[in-house]
Structure 1
Amino acid sequence: MIERHHTSDRMSKIVKHNGVAYLCGQVGDGATVREQTEDCLARVDALLQEAGSDRDHMLQAIIWLADMADFQEMNAVWDTWVPRGHAPARACGEARLASDALKVEVIVTAAVK
């Protein structure tokens, strides 16, 4: 069975199937990469909780940065957010995001508890 949450014509924020939760890309508010990353990860936390999961159960994370020059600043937030010993498989790359104001987008897949 496939469960979809917060579904519109374009996308769902959460899709659950066979014990796995797939989250849509999350962006955050703020002027800096740090602020946007913190807000974005807070949104990931909320969606994980709603999906019946948490940071300890993350399987994969894909991170898009508007500029790879922001890699260290984003990682400073990421490294304190990820539970020690529970880091997901991760990829990070540079991409043009949906608006010029956006600096970071995070996509997470996690096992449901």
Structure 2
Amino acid sequence: MTDSLRKIGGSARFSAISIHNGQVHLAGQVSQLKDGDITAQSRDVFAKVDDLLDQAGTTRENLISVQIWLANMDNYAGMNAVWDEWVAPVTPPTRVCVEARMAQPHYLIEVLAIAAAD
């Protein structure tokens, strides 16, 4: 580990936040709302991203790139409705959204974000 690399939170398996060379890398974020629909889970996950960015000393205004995985692309419109509200106050980052098999059956969405450090 060099002086320019800093890690925050997480577990023995992964760091929640890695900061290196002016970039903030977040671990993939999922919702633990087992009964939550895509709207509820999306709001929960985007709030987690906001919280982690805050812990890293930056905000969603500095997002560079976001990757979104959905368990089912039928949830694309519902997720996009929440996304559009969430990014409305900022210039949106680059983004990709794909369908993927999730690690747990109740996960409907997973989000990974990279931001510029403030």
Structure 1 and Structure 2 fold alike (TM over 0.5): yes
* 1:28 shift after superposition: 1.5
Structure 1 stretches of 4+ with a deviation exceeding 6 A read: none
Is 1:106 equivalent to 2:111 in the alignment? yes
SS at match of 1:59: strand
Mapped to 2, the partners of 1:15 and 1:75 lie a distance apart of 27
TM-score (normalised: structure 2): 0.91
Mapped to 1, the partners of 2:10 and 2:72 lie a distance apart of 30
Question: Number of aligned pairs?
Answer: 113
Unaligned 5+ segments in structure 2 are none
Unaligned 5+ segments in structure 1 are none
Is 1:68 equivalent to 2:73 in the alignment? yes
Mapped to 1, the partners of 2:54 and 2:11 lie a distance apart of 20
TM-score (normalised: structure 1): 0.95
| Residue of structure 1 aligned with 2:40, choices 24, 35, 40 | 35
Provide, for residues 18-52 of structure 1, a one-character-per-residue CA deviation record: whole Å limited to 9, x for no partner: 11000001112332000000001111000000111
In structure 2, what residue type is equivalent to 1:79? D
User: 2:17 corresponds to which residue?
Assistant: 14
Identical amino acids, percent of aligned pairs = 40
